[in-house]
Structure 1
């Protein structure tokens, strides 16, 4: 019993794939020659002489079908990938634009209140260091916003920084197209802006207080490009309850060993402790002086003190940015679709042509 299902002449694009197996016939394209499969034997409408020169085998025909299906699959998958890539690019642009707006809001707010900078950095550190590796809880999840947590002894003096966050959030939420920003994200982005503000202030001081020259110096030697990884970690989720007590040391009362133990518990070491020393506790100078007495931390404290005296401050700035980036994602599962929104559809029936 034969089954006719494939016209060879209807596959001109596959001829090169068939190579020498393709029969040379005089059949015209408007009169397709059909191949009939009869069990293992193949019959064609070619002459006996042609049949001696050319024998279609079932596997040859199946190869043709496979190639056809494969090419169609590739074409279709290409379209799907193209659409997926286009959608991904749109979402990336949306998030990037939103980040730029956030940074603008924070820059202006910090510029109007420069004294808030150290507290914003400590707020971000204390929110993140609640991370507990064993239970995979805590971390930079915005829990410090709750009154029962911000009022703890280790967070003494940080209420003004939290009020700053609240005011910034109101403004940011007013123009956000992708929903309200999480406290978890905003606290860490405020720390980023505060860090940049300290870098810029240092550059201005090195230029004798000349703001224009300070900006040029920071642009030329600053480490702004090091924030790339931090900016990609955008989409932290807020917790709905305070983190457990006792996870943050009372910095001004803690020994160096207690500080080292806390940092070690979240995967950080003496190097990271030293680079963050200026932002731990209410008296940063006292903290740095205390850490300088420890043989494990002292070399790093001295390294960063020397780096801060250079024009570029490269070692200090790069390590500080790297440490903040790691700290800002402890235990977090980043939602890379956060703050994206559907594009408005155009009703073509209402277009005036």
Structure 2
């Protein structure tokens, strides 16, 4: 407080220059006349506030407005408080940067593990996509329950008709989880995160495979093509949604259609029920069962969905696939957060402190 008092007093001389200068008048006393003429008075200027007979905020002829003085006091105190809190702000910023780096490094390792697992078993890709979608589609908009919470891992939910054939995908993720947890410094990865990032890796693998095919099967050229024309940078928002919580029990039955047997109207109704329309239904066709071509053959019969299906089919024939890839990434990102409160400090851990006194120099 002593420092703040000194700082405020140091601003006082500058306040005098803010006072309105009176117009020279012979009837004024010499001090006032010298002020008006621009000469320094023989004594320091005094701060005078309005008298009780004047309106609030209006000063006497040679004084300050009260609000001007109060503003200056407030500004000075505010600046002092900001200056004194600088070290705390720097410490908080440093802590945030450390956590961001920890999460980024951990996520990068997770992606490497998943990419390796999928590359060794490419036939599992359709099941991983459907697994992620079915975990998402238990979301109920009315009750804000369900969603991508990893509940599909429970055997009673995995054994439901709509999840038939997905146990191999869960087994692959169980093995990947063991490896990921072995090198995690911030606790085990949640199944809800694992399932969604496995879907991301599966999607990326399909785009990379398409680029390799366009290069005549040359993997090196395909990777170069995808790096140059792909939309990998669009995953930024998806990557930030890292910190989902796992459900402790299976989600209610009857919320997810059996995609390969569902009618077109059932599909539209389900997507509408979670806040999405024909465009999102069309772009997620690869997630709707094991056969994307069969799914799109059904979707194209609907006048609302057909234009989008055709748009994405044309986009997949281009070198960049931009329209299809960007919309797919955007839709999956939105779906993968339904009903979830993301913990942005998940998987972080305290940095070990170094005791300088114990260092041998």
CA RMSD of superposed structures (Å): 2.4
SS at match of 2:337: coil
Equivalences for residues 46-195 of structure 1 within 5 A:
50-51=42-43, 54-56=45-47, 69-195=77-203
Tell me the TM-score normalised to structure 1 length: 0.85
Q: Give the structure 2 partner of residue 286 of structure 1.
A: 294
Specify whether residues 248 and 69 from structure 1 end up closer, same or farther in structure 2 by C-alpha distance, changes over 3 A only: same
SS at match of 2:256: coil
SS at match of 1:346: coil
Contact 2:315/2:321 (8 A) holds in 1: yes
Deviation at 1:82, TM superposition (A): 1.9
Q: Give the structure 2 partner of residue 246 of structure 1.
A: 254
1:257 matched to 2:265: yes
Structure 2 unaligned regions, length at least 5: 20-40, 50-65
Contact 1:132/1:138 (8 A) holds in 2: yes
Q: Give the structure 2 partner of residue 44 of structure 1.
A: none
Residue of structure 2 aligned with 1:197, choices 187, 194, 205 = 205
Deviation at 1:110, TM superposition (A): 1.1
Contact 2:134/2:256 (8 A) holds in 1: yes
Give CA-to-partner distance per residue, 1:17-63, whole Å, 9 cap, x none: 334499xxxxxxxxxxxxxxxxxxxxxxxxxx955x53355879988
Specify whether residues 300 and 56 from structure 1 end up closer, same or farther in structure 2 by C-alpha distance, changes over 3 A only: closer
Deviation at 1:279, TM superposition (A): 2.1
Residue of structure 1 aligned with 2:15, choices 1, 4, 18 = 18
Contact 1:21/1:54 (8 A) holds in 2: no
Deviation at 1:10, TM superposition (A): 8.6
Specify whether residues 57 and 317 from structure 1 end up closer, same or farther in structure 2 by C-alpha distance, changes over 3 A only: same
Of the structure 1 ranges 150-159 and 283-292, higher mean CA displacement relative to structure 2 is found in 283-292
Tell me the TM-score normalised to structure 2 length: 0.83
Deviation at 1:70, TM superposition (A): 3.0
Quick one: distance in 2 between partners of 1:225 and 1:10? 49
Q: Give the structure 2 partner of residue 236 of structure 1.
A: 244
